[in-house]
Amino acid sequence: MKGTRCIRKVDNLGRIVIPRDIRKALDIKEWDDLQISLEKNSIVINRCSNHCTFCNSKEDLSLFREKYVCRKCLSQLKNS
Ligand SMILES: [Zn+2]
Q: Give 10-68 pLDDT, tens digit per residue.
A: 999 999 999 999 899 888 888 888 888 899 999 988 887 678 889 989 899 888 887 88
CA of 49 to the centre of ligand 1 (A): 13
Please state whether the predicted TM-score (pTM) of the whole model is above 0.85.
Answer: no
Cβ-contact 35, 48 below 8 angstroms:
yes
**1-48: which CATH number, 2.10.260.10, 3.40.50.970, 2.40.110.10, 3.30.980.10?**
2.10.260.10
- What angle is formed at CA 17 by the lines to CA 12 and CA 23, rounded to 5 degrees? 160
Domains of the chain, by residue range, sit at 1-48, 50-80
Position 42 scores a pLDDT of 93
Rounded Cα distance between 7 and 22, Å, is 13
Position 2 scores a pLDDT of 62
CA of 46 to the centre of ligand 1 (A): 20
Rounded Cα distance between 73 and 52, Å, is 8
Q: Which residues 6+ apart lie within 8 Å of 44 measured at CB?
A: 36, 37, 38
CA of 14 to the centre of ligand 1 (A): 34
CA of 30 to the centre of ligand 1 (A): 26
